[in-house]
Amino acid sequence: MRIGIVGAGFIGRAVAQIALAAGHEVMLSNSRGPQTMSSVLAGITGITGCQIGTAEQATQFADVVLLAIPYEHIPSLQPAWFEGKTVLDANNYYPDRDGHIAALDTFQSTTSRLLAEHLRGATVVKVFNAILAADLLTDGRPHDSTERRALPIAADDAQAKALVAGLLDDLGFDAVDAGGLDESWRFERAKPAYCASLDKSGLARALVAAEREVELPLGSWRR
């Protein structure tokens, strides 16, 4: 699969590393342009063979686009670049970092729903937001392993969700279907499933245990 990544930070680079290791083609991009990428990638292991480009080039290269940027920058994305693409939404909303967004502060919408409203021609799948980048590099296991870590996914499109579940399997993770984009709050920041290392059944329980307006203390998910 050709994976175009918009955002070459912690999460974009980690997904690039494990996707390359699994035999996928990857193009990484950031906001400042490919000329800045050699210093961004310096010292990162397993990145040989990674292509670099502009954000527009990464979207055009891609069968699936991973979007991994601070949430505040989402309004600056050009919707035309994402037209017809499956977009993996790894983004989280941190008001202290991103500024306040009323629809999220009042639990009226979800990060992925707002993204889908901005990228109207794209099919959005929420995934990779609920695992620390460092854990992506260490926690993947082969398909038949016991105690394999599971990651939550949500999307309105069943075909896109199946595609992403297959990709996760390739990368060493099980997938647990949390429903459509309107249900994706169940694994947003500060919910029990957020960045928790759980297998399929544990993750399914954590998703059910989530309460819409109840948030865990900030940072309690970091070890």
Binding site for ligand NAP (CB under 6 A): 6-12, 29-32, 55, 68-71, 73, 76-77, 90-92, 129, 132-133
What φ, ψ does residue 177 adopt, rounded to 5°? -80, 115
* Residue nearest ligand NAP by beta-carbon distance: 9
Closer CB to ligand NAP, 136 or 163, in the complex: 136
Question: Which is nearer to ligand NAP, 32 or 143 (by Cβ)?
Answer: 32
User: In the bound complex, what is the minimum distance in angstroms from residue 5's beta carbon to ligand NAP?
Assistant: 9
Looking at beta carbons only, is 24 or 152 nearer to ligand NAP? 152
**Min CB(85)–ligand NAP separation in Å:** 15
Q: Which is nearer to ligand NAP, 23 or 100 (CB)?
A: 100
d(CA 56, CA 187): 29
Least distance in angstroms from the C-beta of 89 to ligand NAP: 9
User: What's the burial of 155, exposed, middle or buried (CB within 10 Å: 0-12/13-18/19+)?
Assistant: buried
Q: Please, which residues have CB within 8 angstroms of residue 191's CB and are 6 or more apart in sequence? A: 185, 206, 210, 215, 216
Residue 132's SS3 state is coil
Distance, CA of 88 to chain centre: 5
